[in-house]
Structure 1
Amino acid sequence: MSLDQPAHRRPRVAAAVLAGGVGSRMGSAHPKQLLRLAGQTILERSVAALCAAPEVDEVVVVMNAAHLAEAEKILAEGRYDKVSRIVPGGASRSESSLAALQAVDDYDDNDLLLLHDAARPLVSGRTITACVTELTEVGAVGVAVPSSDTVVQVTLDVSGREVIAAVPDRAALRRMQTPQGFRLGVIRRAYARAFADPGFTATDDCGVVLRYLPEEPVRIVTGEESNIKVTHPSDLAVAEALLRTGVAQ
């Protein structure tokens, strides 16, 4: 695949905020992306971060279908000018990613797409810029941070209980974050192959490229510890503390 661009224009950059989940682990009747974090919804903070990035031309929101109208109202009131459309998400992360791809079907294969979890509302402009910069050289990038914990691989013993099967070298391990960025031609080809595979399952878009386009390198951008994912109620408290202390903006 050639990454060369016509001399008359730079690649367009679309960013998709994936907010299709229900956030059941938050223990709330409301999707976690619509919970408030320091006066704004989590969804708004993620959208605002991408809208503020000068590299991003357009923002698409992939929303839980049952709360589409509520998201439209919230984002309209916030006047996020780069938000071009809000579309319903699917039953899985991969189906929501596919909805994002379909929303930018007018983009060329050499244009860029950033896929970002709405549940990471503290993503920095530095991280977004780094992803777009790396995509001038490669077709896929992921944001990750080194693992400070020892990670073990487990299996089940004869009684059905977990036991340690292996202890991978921590120096080679990273914890993935978002955004994840792609040349559209790359992620389109990867998903075309994935959805043709009856055994396809995935929770990570870089993993789709890794599995179905093994010849395509996925470069790592070093992320930030403050780019946390709000999954449990305690994560919301941590995010509020990061904003309050100025560690995250």
Structure 2
Amino acid sequence: MKSIGVILAGGSGRRLGSELPKQFITIAGKTVLAHTLGVFEQNELIDEIIIVVHKDYLNETQEIVTKERFGKVRMIIPGGKERYHSTLAALNAYQDTNCKFIIHDAVRLLVTQQMISDTIEALDNCEACTTAIPATDTILQSDATKQFVNAIPDRSTLFQVQTPQGFLANTLRGAYNKALTDPCFFSTDDCGVVKRYLPEISIKIIQGSPSNVKLTYKEDISLIERCLLG
């Protein structure tokens, strides 16, 4: 069963305040996307890579792949308006194949080889998994007005979700097939789709790292650059 690195690179980067989508800005001499692709390219368990990107940046993505000589990249395809549209596009690209889907946000460029390998290997014994770290802050759940505290969950059972997330493609496809029949469906997380629409599937937690940050704000750039430059 092939292991496919699915790199979701369709974000707009509005919160970063950049003219370019954040996956195309340069940090430590390379674009964010190039850094992320490099980690997946070097992982010996990754067989192929598919990049899902906004339709307006297909050429820029191909230029990065060509310049950096990423030989495992098999496809660069357009995504959609929402994050889950990009996952669906990747599933459609492999519609006749049951493989291991290793889905990763392009802007988590500090992902490690260990996280990728652990995600792939976990799928030998489960159908879905996600990288995550224990929550270090107390989390409040608000009421419907978002003005008052409704509950304070036990922090010891809470985790912050990261990527990569791993799935057997047929399992993820089955979850989305059910989700798309739900007129109220909306999601920003693939594990959430599996949990809601295939509740019988156990989702394994893979150890992440606080350093596996998602580039979101300008303040993140200097932190990530320090990590990359050592």
User: Does TM, scored on the shorter chain, surpass 0.5?
Assistant: yes
RMSD after superposition:
1.1
Once the two structures are superposed, residues 188-242 of structure 1 have per-residue CA deviations (whole angstroms, 9 ceiling, x without a partner) of: 1001111121111000000000000000000100101111000111111111122
> Distance between the aligned counterparts of 1:128 and 1:179, measured in 2?
7
1:8 aligned residue: none
2:156 aligned residue: 171
Amino acid at match of 1:115: I
1:131 aligned residue: 119
Amino acid at match of 2:184: G
Amino acid at match of 2:69: R
Matching of residue 203 in structure 1 with residue 191 in structure 2: no
Once the two structures are superposed, residues 121-140 of structure 1 have per-residue CA deviations (whole angstroms, 9 ceiling, x without a partner) of: 11000000100111000000
Give the C-alpha shift of residue 161 in structure 1: 6.5
2:202 aligned residue: 217
Matching of residue 54 in structure 1 with residue 44 in structure 2: yes
User: Larger Rg: 1 or 2?
Assistant: 1
Give the C-alpha shift of residue 244 in structure 1: 2.5
1:38-117 mapped onto 2 (5 Å cutoff) = 38-107=28-97, 109=98, 111-117=99-105
Matching of residue 22 in structure 1 with residue 45 in structure 2: no
> Distance between the aligned counterparts of 2:96 and 2:221, measured in 1?
37
Give the C-alpha shift of residue 105 in structure 1: 2.3
Normalising by structure 2, what TM-score?
0.97
Return 5+ residue gaps in structure 1 as ranges: 1-10
Amino acid at match of 1:180: Q
Matching of residue 193 in structure 1 with residue 178 in structure 2: yes
Return 5+ residue gaps in structure 2 as ranges: none
**The residue matched to 1:55 in structure 2 has which SS?**
coil
> Distance between the aligned counterparts of 2:165 and 2:44, measured in 1?
17
> Distance between the aligned counterparts of 2:23 and 2:130, measured in 1?
22
Give the C-alpha shift of residue 73 in structure 1: 1.1
**The residue matched to 1:162 in structure 2 has which SS?**
coil
Give the C-alpha shift of residue 175 in structure 1: 0.3
Distance 1:161 1:15, change over 3 A: closer
Once the two structures are superposed, residues 44-66 of structure 1 have per-residue CA deviations (whole angstroms, 9 ceiling, x without a partner) of: 11111111111110000001111
Amino acid at match of 1:131: T
The sequence identity of aligned pairs, in percent, is 39
